[in-house]
Structure 1
Amino acid sequence: MADGSPAAPSAATGQESAGRQRRAGRPHENVLSRKLITEAALTVIGVEGYGAFTMSSLARRLSVAPSALYNHVTSKQEVLRWLQDHVMTQVDVSGFTAEPWDAAVRRWAWSYRDVFAGHVPLIPIVAVLPVAGAPETLKMYEKVAVGLAAAGVPAALIVPGIVALESFIFGSALDATAPADIFDTADLSGTSPTFTAAVAAQDRDTGEPADVAFRFGLDALLAQLDSTRQKASAD
């Protein structure tokens, strides 16, 4: 302007500036990655629960359109597989580098149960997920396998041993989230007197029923593993 005052921004300039501001807060779809999507999914589930987890809720968390997600992941099920593999990093396998084999297995099993008690919907996924698509899960299996091999468990029985433990762990993770009155026979007590008496006879002073059951079963599995390794060393 002739008087030296600064020129007012044009409408086009203002639109360009607003556009830049809007874009700054939205990750462009090529910024998305497996790690970023997985972390966002974990946040959504932590706040809203698995029941509310959808691709739309995930897209909102990432501030992208749902269609942008599908350039990086094929389905909600694939996101859950990524999430399952990520959750495996929370399972404690540290005992296999420093503790006796049975203490290491015990630490791992309790940690595994507790982690997946908080992620029960992932159990059907990990139970059938090929390890080729789950690098963190495979790392965990390798730690356990090395520990069992070093303890003298025959190579042919390491995978059956892990599967037996894992099957028990998954069932126990479900049990840990069950209602406290799951075995209350109520009006049917007359048709199941022995079972009803057994439920009443549980010693609550030894811990929560789910913990007592897990300890009991884990002791049995560890005893079988110990018997197996001792028999192998004697042959």
Structure 2
Amino acid sequence: MVSTTRSVGRPRVSVLSRRLIAETALRLLDEGEDAGFRMTDLARVLGVRVSSLYNHVSGKSAVYAEIREILSERIGEDAAPSPHWDVALRDWARAYRAAFAAHPSTVAVLAVLPVGESSMVSVAYNDLVTQLVSAGWTPAESMNIIVAVESFILGSALDSSAPQDMLDPGGRTDVPVFAAAYEARRETAARDGVAPADLAFTLGLDALLVGLRSQLAARPG
């Protein structure tokens, strides 16, 4: 259960908004990890009655939808525009992963939450599809590319929050090749000053982009 005794700024009811509710919920999710949040938690932290929340959101799904808008805005701010489809896709993937890696407890819910009719997420998808189609991909292929890359991103975001020694074989002697590979990866990450999960993400994203470039280049005409 998320603690409601911590000290969080308590705004006046007059400044309560959908965005403030979502930002507070995001903080509760970050602090409570997988415990989630309740509407009563939000009300107590914000110093309002639960009924006041429903003047701005219809329920938890609406709060999560607004959280997705917050993360989408951060992705848009960090993903630099590029005239090259593969560079744009790469930068979008990096910004997307960074946004969700910072809030891994949101992945499970947002990955299956339908995109609302007025969501800015659709605008981001529209820009990507437009660029991919202009580069030579069909509309259907463009959607498949986005979904495939997005699936990889979300998995990588979760991996970034997992314990770094999750795969450690320990002192086992019956898996020598795996143990050596694990140690080599750990040493490489330490040498480069990055997390092992970041190495995996970079390799995987590069592989996806190389494969996509090869497919597009192999087409006649």
Q: TM-score band (shorter)?
A: 0.7 to 0.9
AA in 1 matched with 2:178: F
- Within the candidate set 84, 95, 101, 1:111 is matched to 95
Runs of 5+ consecutive residues of structure 2 not aligned to the other structure: 1-10
Corresponding residue of 1:27: 13
Shift in Å, 1:172? 0.6
Write the distance in 2 (CA, Å) between the matches of 1:225 and 1:101.
11
Partner of 2:213: 226
**CA shift at 1:83, angstroms?**
1.0
Deviations 1:23-75 (A, max 9, x none): xx7425xx7542342234345556x4454733223213433201222344333
Which amino acid in 1 is paired with 2:176?
P
Partners of 2:118 and 2:101 lie apart in 1 by 20
Equivalent pair of 1:109/1:165 in contact (CA under 8 Å): yes
Q: Name the residue aligned to 2:166.
A: 182
Amino acid of the structure 2 residue aligned with 1:125: V
RMSD: 2.6
Q: 1:194 aligns with which of 172, 177, 180?
A: 177
| Matched ranges for 1:12-161 at <5 A | 26-27=12-13, 32-45=16-29, 48-50=31-33, 51=35, 53-92=37-76, 97-133=81-117, 135-161=119-145
Q: Deviations over 1:73-110 (max 9, x none)?
A: 33334312321222111014776743422222111111
Q: Is contact 1:176–1:210 with CA below 8 Å preserved after alignment?
A: yes
Q: Give the structure with the higher percent helix.
A: 1
Change (3 A) 1:96 1:148: farther
TM-score normalized by the length of structure 1: 0.75
Moved more, 143-152 or 173-182: 143-152
Contact 1:38 1:82 in 2 (8 A): yes
Size of the aligned set, in residue pairs, is 206
Partner Cα separation in structure 2 for residue 54 and residue 99 of structure 1: 44
For 1:118 and 1:196, locate their aligned partners in 2 and report how far apart those are by CA, in whole Å.
29
Q: How many percent identity over aligned positions?
A: 40
Q: Deviations over 1:84-138 (max 9, x none)?
A: 2221110147767434222221111111111101111211222212223561211
Question: 1:229 and 1:41 mapped to 2: Cα distance?
Answer: 42
Distance 2:201 2:134 in 1: 25
Cα separation, 2, equivalents of 1:131 and 1:123: 14
Q: Which residue number corresponds to residue 7 of structure 1?
A: none
| 1:217 alignment counterpart | 204
Q: Quick check: which has more Rg, 1 or 2?
A: 1
> Separation in 2 of the partners of 1:91 and 1:172?
16
* Structure 1 stretches of 4+ moved >6 Å: none
* Structure 2 contact 79–95 (Cα < 8 Å) conserved: no
Deviation at 1:196, TM superposition (A): 1.0
Give the Cα–Cα distance (whole angstroms) in 2 for the partners of residues 164 and 45 of structure 1: 27
Give the direction of change, closer, same or farther, for the CA distance of 1:197–1:84 in structure 2 (3 Å limit): same
Cα shift readout 1:199-219 (whole Å, capped 9, x = no counterpart): 122223344311111111111
The alpha-carbon distance between structure 1 residues 75 and 191, as it changes in their structure 2 partners (threshold 3 A), is farther
Change (3 A) 1:124 1:181: same
